[in-house]
Structure 1
Amino acid sequence: MRFSESLKEATGQSWTYSLNHPFVQGIVRGDLPLETFKNYIMQDIYYLKHYGKVHAFAAAQADDFSQAASLAEKAKTTAEAELTVHKEHARILNITDEDVQQFKPAPTAYAYTSHLYRAALSGSLAQMIAAMLPCYWLYADIGLENKGTKTGVEIYDNWIQMYASDEFQESTRDMINLLDDLAAEASAAEKAKIKDQFVIAKEYELAFWEMAYRFETWLSEQKQTKVSG
């Protein structure tokens, strides 16, 4: 079994929960409220800003120039994706520039990006890739599993097909192969750390769906809402 496959196996239950989460299934059925999807997109725009930066950290850490070039390109692609997401969905979801500028992330979005930076500060390229990989891999699986699905909602059809695209699938395979190559040279102790980064990131992927679906807020905001109510 490839090292990457062992990581996916270790997170199997979380993977199943993610694929079947009401947020994802709502998109697939086409009945997820647009306000819920808007909440997700706002959180995701925040996440992608930091996700792209961690790609850049990884590129700087890579000793192999081809790996560095590939990761730098992915950093650029991620930054462009952030702009594309905003441009394509802003009109439909009524997202304004002011909304983006004033946006404050929910606890899970903040914690997930913090986890990515922690991986970056480890100084290990393999640990960085492991922390970034669940995002690629889970979305690629959602795309493949629902390829060709017609939800009846254009914004959801586009979202599914983006992750089902050959380009995204290939980019995901590149990251999987990179992690396997790096793990092949890692010690047992390093492999354990790589696994920890992957497992935690996968849990945050599941938590991200829940955060968006439940409109998660900070505890003080929850208490304030209850008092106001």
Structure 2
Amino acid sequence: MTFCEEVRKECDDLWQGSFDHPFIKQIAEGILPEDVFKYYVKQDSYYLQHFAKVHALAAVKAKGILTTQRFAQHAEITCGAEIALHEHFFEMLDVTDEELATFQPAPTAYDYTSHLYRVAFEGDLADILAALLPCYWLYYEIGERLKGAKPNHPVYDKWIQTYGSEWFENAVMEQITRMNELAEGLSTERREELKEHFRKSSYYEWHFWEMAWTKQAWAIGSYELTRNK
């Protein structure tokens, strides 16, 4: 088995949790409350800004000029396209400038991006890609699973179409191939380190749906923490 086949199999329970999450199931059925998706889009837009920056850090740590170029392109094209998609959703969902000005990342969004930055600053290119890959790959698998779904909702139809598209599949397959190349010949101990990055990101992916589903806030019991307190 390749490295990616191994780690995907080992993380199958986490991924199945994403596939079975009511957030995903209700998108497919077209019945997810729009306020839940609106919350998700704002958090995901925050995440993608940092996702792009971590790609830039990967470009810096790449040894070959072609790999540097590809990570820079992924930062610009893949993330740029997704951010443009979110801006489209902002318009469709009536996300106001005031909402964006007062936006705060939820604990899970903040934790996930912090995980990516820690891996990026402490590790090498293999570490970074192991942490980034679940976002690519999981969304691709969700897109494939939902290809036959007919939400009959303009936002959810577009969301499914994006992650089931050929350009997104090509980006995912490129990164899977690169991850296998980077992991080839590494010691068992080193591969386990990479798998742990992948596993943590897979965990955060599942919790990202849960974060949106519950509209997670910074709170301790009934006391809500806000920027002004």
TM-score normalised to structure 1 length: 0.94
Kept after mapping to 1: 8 A contact 2:218/2:224? no
Identity %: 41
Matches of 1:59 and 1:222, distance apart in 2: 44
Identify the residue that residue 144 of structure 2 maps to in structure 1.
Answer: 144
Kept after mapping to 2: 8 A contact 1:39/1:212? yes
Name the structure where helix makes up a greater proportion of residues.
1
Moved more, 62-71 or 18-27: 62-71
Shift in Å, 1:87: 2.5
Moved more, 161-170 or 76-85: 76-85
Kept after mapping to 2: 8 A contact 1:112/1:201? yes
Matches of 2:57 and 2:78, distance apart in 1: 13
Identify the residue that residue 133 of structure 2 maps to in structure 1.
Answer: 133
Amino acid at match of 1:66: L
Tell me the secondary structure at the aligned position of residue 147 of structure 2.
coil
In the TM superposition, structure 1's runs of 4+ consecutive aligned residues that sit over 4 Å from their partners are: none
Matches of 2:185 and 2:141, distance apart in 1: 27
Matches of 2:78 and 2:101, distance apart in 1: 19
RMSD across aligned positions (CA)? 1.5
Identify the residue that residue 70 of structure 2 maps to in structure 1.
Answer: 70
Aligned residues: 225
Alignment of structure 1 residues 92-103 onto 2, 5 Å: 92-103=92-103
Tell me the secondary structure at the aligned position of residue 152 of structure 1.
coil
Shift in Å, 1:101: 2.7
Change (3 A) 1:25 1:132: same
Kept after mapping to 2: 8 A contact 1:61/1:123? no
Amino acid at match of 1:111: D
Change (3 A) 1:82 1:97: farther
Shift in Å, 1:224: 3.9
Amino acid at match of 1:30: G
Change (3 A) 1:83 1:135: closer
Alignment of structure 1 residues 26-45 onto 2, 5 Å: 26-45=26-45
Q: Could you tell me which runs of 5 or more consecutive residues in structure 1 were left unpaired when the two chains were aligned.
A: none
Kept after mapping to 1: 8 A contact 2:48/2:83? no
Identify the residue that residue 57 of structure 1 maps to in structure 2.
Answer: 57
Aligned: 1:153 with 2:169: no
Q: Give per-residue Cα distances to partners, 1:53-87, cap 9 Å, x unaligned.
A: 00000011100221111110000024423541333
Q: Give per-residue Cα distances to partners, 1:140-197, cap 9 Å, x unaligned.
A: 0011111142211011011001000000011001111111000004232221110110
Matches of 2:115 and 2:215, distance apart in 1: 21
Aligned: 1:218 with 2:218: yes
TM-score normalised to structure 2 length: 0.94
